[in-house]
Amino acid sequence: MRAIYILCVRQLKRYIRSPARIIGSLGQPILFLVALGFGMRAMFARAGGGNYINFLSPGIISMAILFNAVFSGIEIIWDRQFGFLKETLVAPVSRLEIVFGRMLGGAIVAFAQGLVVFVICLIAGFRFVSSPYLPLAIFFMFMIALLFAGMGTVFGSVLQDMQGFPLIINFLIMPLFFFSGAIFTTTGLPRALRILLRLNPLSYGVDGLRGALINQFAFGLTTDLAVVTILTALLLGIGSYFFSKIQL
Amino acid sequence: MGEMIVVQDLVKNYGEFCAVNHISFSVPEGKIFGFLGPNGAGKTTTIKMLTTVLDPTSGSIQVNGHDPTHEQKQVRRSFGIVFQDPSLDDELTAYENMDLHGILYGVPRAERHKRIDALVDLVGLGERKKDFVKMYSGGMKRRLEVARALLHKPRILFLDEPTIGLDPQTRNHIWGYIQQLSKEEGVTVFFTTHYMDEADRVANDVAVIDHGKIVAEGSPTELKERTKCANLEDAFIALTGHAIREEEANAADRMRMMGRAWRGGGRR
């Protein structure tokens, strides 16, 4: 337990001490929020979709969490290259504790970034509605963070250097975001895209968060809860497995 | 006194390449043992296997009476290590790096704080313990790593080229302390170095490894007598030849280059 705690604390310290990183990683969500949110607002309303900022904001919050969580896992590569990983791997604690500490710390950081983006969305005009599901918003945000911290840990454990990094961003993380229903509704989509959306774990996180915030579910609360919970447990397991196989 | 490290018939293959080729040696408790060899001879690979982070292809290892592949926790508790490359978290302070280590090794809080203060003073970093490690010079980082490796009172200290890139003052300081530690507390020291004068001065015994095989073993004096050389450096060259070794840059080196470029120079 002590290892989980201290590695978690380490990541939080690194996060808080790096304002450049906090602000830097806000750039992308703000860009999407402003460009899409205001650019498409009129079109979305005319098509009968309602308030686009309200629809988009949960997606943008999810995006911020997704990126930060995956990065936190990929930080393993940096720690490997700059040496700190070794210090933890020769310590008399199980790999499971180490990886859980890392994933938890990364998830908390991603969640915190999600909260910051939440506030930015509010400033941009996002209004959530009061519903019995509202408290679940926090739950979905944290689950998205954990799920993708687990996924990032897989990459961080398997990759030896940063060469594969753009590949992961462009061919996995970006598609995960774009085909998650974060920026468009599921109605009227081509069949192939609908299937893709259904297979994307982030879709359920986005839908859960959107449902909790503006009471508008595409898959239904039960489905979202079940899928997100199961996938998070699964990814944490897979992440731990790959981390435990690291040899120096 | 018993044997602290016993290695028998140890082999490590990377695909076709044989990094460590059937080596055997042992290090008695409380001795200072120098593991010498040219670049790419298999020194670091051996240390990795001794310290539980790399599984051997075959052969047996006992560290403090435990097998690093199967009794990792017992082995890990027994040793402290200073790696060849830096292994500190640059974005934490020196004190936080020490504290994190102490917590990972389960050193109780009161004792931890007392020992950290004593150790940072010992390596001359007492005044700078609240500074971020990224503000440290290479020598200061090294000293901090030595202090950190000793925090949990290990029975064995592994030092993989601990004095690389350090000035003579710092080298002397570090070795002085390590010798004292070995004498007074019976800590076993296993180190690698390229500085033969250093090995000659501090090691009780040395082993010379080349192309994954141990080519000579004994006290520095014995090796000098055997090769009829005046100093250990000449003895070393007599044993391993004049050919300059090539070592491929590994991922870590390439990455470090990248990091340096990104941050605008100046790690280490």
Q: Say what the pLDDT of residue B257 is.
A: 57
Give the one of B103, B105, B259 whose C-beta lies nearest to A81's C-beta: B259
pLDDT at B243 over 50: yes
* Cβ burial B147-172 (10 Å sphere, 16+ → b, else e): bbbbbbebbbbbbbbbbbebeeebbe
Q: Say what the pLDDT of residue B264 is.
A: 45
Q: Say what the pLDDT of residue B267 is.
A: 37
pLDDT in tens, A134-180: 899 999 999 999 999 999 999 999 998 888 888 888 999 999 999 99
On whether the CB atoms of residues A100 and B67 are closer than 8 A, the answer is no
Confidence band, pLDDT 50/70/90 cuts, at residue B252: low
Q: Which residue has the higher pLDDT, B160 or B265?
A: B160
pLDDT at B255 over 70: no
Residues 69-98, chain A, touching B (beta carbon < 8 A): 77-78, 80-84, 86-94
Size of chain B, expressed as the number of residues it contains: 268
Alpha carbons A171 and A180: distance in angstroms, whole number? 14
- Domain ranges in chain B are 32-55+66-245
Alpha carbons B22 and B109: distance in angstroms, whole number? 44
Q: Say what the pLDDT of residue B251 is.
A: 55
Compute the nearest-CA separation of A57 from chain B (Å): 33
Which chain A residues are closer than 8 Å to B109 by Cβ? none
Alpha carbons B32 and B202: distance in angstroms, whole number? 7
Read out DSSP for chain A?
Answer: -HHHHHHHHHHHHHHHT-HHHHHHTTHHHHHHHHHHHHHSHHHHHHTT---HHHHHHHHHHHHHHHHHHHHHHHHHHHHHHTSHHHHHHTSSS-HHHHHHHHHHHHHHHHHHHHHHHHHHHHHTT------TTTTHHHHHHHHHHHHHHHHHHHHHHH-SSGGGHHHHIIIIIHHHHHTTTSSS-STT--HHHHHHHHH-HHHHHHHHHHHHHHS--SS-HHHHHHHHHHHHHHHHHHHHHHHHT---
Q: What is the mean pLDDT of residues B56-62?
A: 96
pLDDT in tens, A191-231: 999 999 999 999 999 999 999 999 999 999 999 999 999 99
Q: Does A139 touch chain B (CB under 8 A)?
A: no
Whether the ipTM is more than 0.90: the answer is no
On whether the CB atoms of residues B242 and B230 are closer than 8 A, the answer is no
On whether the CB atoms of residues B31 and B183 are closer than 8 A, the answer is no
pLDDT at B253 over 90: no
Compute the nearest-CA separation of A81 from chain B (Å): 5
Which residue from B minimizes the CA distance to A4?
Answer: B104
Look at the domain B32-55+66-245 and name its fold.
Rossmann fold (3.40.50)
Strand, helix or coil at B3? strand
Provide the mean pLDDT of chain B: 89
Name the H helices within chain B. Answer: 43-50, 72-78, 94-104, 109-122, 138-150, 168-185, 196-202, 220-227, 232-240, 251-263
Spatial neighbors of A175 by CB under 8 A, at least 6 apart, are none
pLDDT at B250 over 90: no
Which residue from A minimizes the CA distance to B44?
Answer: A248
Tell me the C-alpha to C-alpha distance, in Å, between residue A100 and each of A1, A6, A40, B40, B104: 10, 11, 41, 35, 14
pLDDT at B260 over 70: no
Q: Say what the pLDDT of residue A21 is.
A: 87
Interface mutation target, options A11, A17, A86, A89, chain B, most CBs of B under 10 Å: A86
Write down the pTM of the prediction: 0.88
pLDDT in tens, A110-123: 999 999 999 999 99
